[in-house]
Structures are given as structure tokens and as C-alpha cells.
Amino acid sequence: MKRLARLVIPMAPLLLVLVLCTPTMVLGGHDYGQALSKSILFFEAQRSGHLPKNQRVSWRANSGLNDGKASGVDLVGGYYDAGDNVKFGLPMAFTVTMMSWSILEYGNQMAKSGELGHAMEAVKWGTDYFIKAHPHPYVLYGEVGDGNSDHYCWQRPEDMTTDRRAYRIDPSKPGSDLAGETAAAMAAASLVFSRYDPAYSAELLRHAQQLFEFADKYRGKYDSSITVAQKYYRSVSGYNDELLWAAAWLYQATHNQYYLEYLGKNGDSLGGTGWAMTEFSWDDKYAGVQTLVSKILMQGRAGHYAPEFERYQQKAEYFMCSCLGKGTKNVQRTPGGLMFCQRWNNLQFVTSASFLMTVYSDYLASSRRNLHCFSGAVAPSALLSFAKSQVDYILGDNPRATSYMVGYGTNYPRQVHHRASSIVSFKVNPTFVSCRGGYATWFSRKASDPNLLTGATVGGPDAYDNFADQRNNYEQTEPATYNNAPLLGVLARLSGGQGGYNQLLPVELPALKPIVLRPNPAPVQLLSSRS
């Protein structure tokens, strides 16, 4: 029996608490409910800023408490992207968008697993930061910290001595991809909170609309303005995909015909109806927007743009067929059956593709139609079955019998490429860990991490299912927030059993009980506040 979960979402002056207790669903030998719980917990290990009283990852402490101060703006909070201590705006925003989408599709299943409140907390930790990072309509802070100086050091977030400079985009230095993705994240999150905190939802939507206007009016790639991001999160796909992605989410959030027209009139010029993709990631959103527009079409909301939206859907189905191995250009697979796109953090592509296949399977089933591939018609259940096989591989059904989710099962990575988890907790030993001293004492240590990074999905195996559990093997052992975010939705769907869902109808999330709690005492400042 799953433990009783008490879930608190801070929303001053109200806090929302969800208390649920239900059995965990186990399908095909895996406890998807447990995997979901662990996956959400990982985000608490990635938190920057003042940690709340209900922080469950107890080995972390406050960090980055002066972020933004030199620029005259409060940028405390947000998430560290991976195993480093930099806050990169583009992958953080994608993470929040995908967590929100997961909740919007499968929030009821999360509630039955007792995890909806925790998932909403994870979203709000990101959106609270985005509100701070967007102090003016045409200004957005897109990075705190510098990857070069950060990677030169191996320190706990609590000990950081690296440069915490803040970098921004504005009309003179635009970043349509960054602004567009952040608009998508805030629009999607506004839907998550619309029932529970209408004022907060409206605030998020206002920011989203301003950011979309900024992205569309002042066009440019963000890494041409924030050049320090180029080595780490270069926007290879450009910004056209994010403009469409943001418009799709804003239409979902507002039902404003302006955004529907934007999708209909700009599908060709911005590539939404032209690009046929075989991957979906923090950089390239085309497959995501094509899937979301397909949902709008199948819901009967396309209006006179239906012919254009059908072309989006053709490209969405190209993606699905390629993942299944039934298209004209198929995604490579390892001998063990895992989709393989690249050797560095391949699992990010697996989790994001699995999410799209899961939701599209439900969209097709809800509209009583099949997927049309080059090799013939494919039942919707085949998409869900293949997505399940990819998740099962991650959880241990693979040639190595290794779980690539830390803390799930018994055989999982023990030497994760992650600064905070690899160094003794600040709470256990607050002795300062120096920049280079961390490499000498902790990075090179051939032993298990002192702190368990529960729920982290690491980069995963190579093209031949091989994996080396070594801290210096960053291509395979480094986790990332955007690995986990899409996985939440798939795990929630699988934990809910095999019953049919009409995903073309609005999903009504369960009621949460609002209670008033006394404000937290003022946090204590620490002396000091990717590889």
C-alpha cells in the first residue's frame, strides 16, 4: 500500500494541500506509481534558492541566494539543469512546459498515485522563477551563472564561488526561442493552476502573452545574444518552432482566435507544416507543436484552418511512424530495442518521444481512428505499447538489467555525474569545498555517491546497450530535468492502468482543499552561497 502523501503547494496567502491514499498500479512487472513518485522527487534535488519547509530531499540546503543581485533583480530560485550549478533558461522552460503538459493530460492519474500536488509544486517552483526573470514586457533573464567557470569547479551548490552573472534578452539583444519557450511554459502552467488559483493563473497568462509578443516582434536567436550559452545549449533549430509552440499553448490557454490564426497562417513560413522530424527536445519543438495542433484538429476546433492543420498532422504522424519503425525514415534502435539518437544523453530523446507517442495514442483512440504509416494502418494501442517498452527499458528491462532511474530497482547508477549528490551534504559536513578541491576529493572518488539522487534519469547507454557507471562519464551518467519532465506523463498514464481515456475532452483535475498556513520565518542566509 502506498504511503499517505501530504502535498503542499505554496500560493500566498493560500496553500493548497492534497491528501490522497491509493494502491499503486503495477503493470508488466514495474511499479509505475513508485517510478512516478521518484521522478517528481528528483526536481527537489535540482532546486536553487531558499528551500521550503516541506523540502523532502533533506541533503540539499539553500543556494544561489544572491542570484541577480549584481543586476538589480531578484533571480533567486529556479532549477539547476543537470549535474552543474548553472540556471539555463531554455531547458528550464522546456522542462516546465513538459511537466505542465503531463499534468494537463494525466493529472487525474497523478492524483490517484498521490502525486498531483508534488507535480504542481514542481511546476510552480519554475514559474515563480520565470515571473522574477521577466521584470518588464520586453526583458527576460535567460541564464544565471557561466558554464565555463562553473565546469572548472566541482562544488556543491551551497558552496558556489563561481561567477553568478545574469544574462538577459531585450529588444536590442533578442531571443525569440527563449522568450517563446518561456511563453509556452507559462501558458501551459496557467492551465494547470486555473482551477486552484485563478489569480496566479491569470498572472502567468499575462506574462506568457507579453513574452510571445516580445518573441514575435523582436526576432533573433537567444544564443546570439547570450553567447555564453552557445557551448551548452545552442539553439540549432532556431526560433521558428518556439513561435509556433508558444502560439499553440496560448491558444489552448485563451481560446483566442488570434493564436489559432497565427498557427494557420504561419505553418508554412515557420516550418510547422514542412519539417518532418524524428526527434523532440528542448531545442527542437516541431514534433511537439505538430502533435498539439493535431489535437486541436481532432477536437474539431481548427475552423477554416483545418486543411493547414491536417498538414501539421501529417508531420506528426511521420514522427510517430518513424519512432515505431514503420516510416520512410526510422529512428535507430539499440540491439535491446531502445530508440537511439545520439550518444550524449540519449534518454532525453527517448522520454520526450515516449510522451508524444502516449498522448497521440490516446488522441487517436479517442477519435476512433488509426495511425497511417508508410507500411500501413497502425492501431493506437501500438503507440502506447511501444512507449511502454521504452519506459520499461529505462526501468531495467534491458540487456544489462540496469535501471537508468537512480533509486528505482536494485541495480542503478551509483556514481552519477552530479555535483550536489557526489559531495557530502552541507548539512552533514558544512566544511567549505573549494573549486578545484572538489575535483581532487570528490569527483575522482571511486565510490558511490554520498547522497542518493532519487528519481534522476541519467543519460543512458550507448548504441549497443553498453553503459559505464563512472562519474567522469558525463555522456551517460549525467541526469537532466528535461529527461524527467516528459516521463512524468507517461508514468502517470501507465500507473493508471489500461482503461481508455477520452483525451479530446477537457481534463478536469480533482478539487484540492485550500487552507491558510502561517508564513514561513525569514530564511537564514548562508555565508557563501553542467558538465
Give the active site residues: 417, 469, 478
Residue with cell 551551497: 158
Q: In this structure, what DSSP letter does residue 439 have?
A: I
- The pair phi, psi for residue 425, each rounded to 5°, is -60, 140
- Name 16's bridge partners: 9, 514
Q: Is residue 218 within 8 Å of 171, Cβ to Cβ?
A: yes
Interhelix angle 32-45/481-495, nearest 10 degrees:
150
Angle separating helix axes 257-266 and 306-324, nearest 10 degrees: 70
Give the chain's length.
531
Neighbours of 59 (CB within 10 A): 18
Residue 517 is placed in which grid cell?
498556513
Q: What is the dihedral of CA 523, 62, 204, 261, to 10 degrees?
A: 170
Residues 531 and 526: their CA atoms lie apart, in Å, by 25
**Contact (CB, 8 A) for 48 and 160:** no
Angle at 362 between CA 391 and CA 512, to 5 degrees: 85
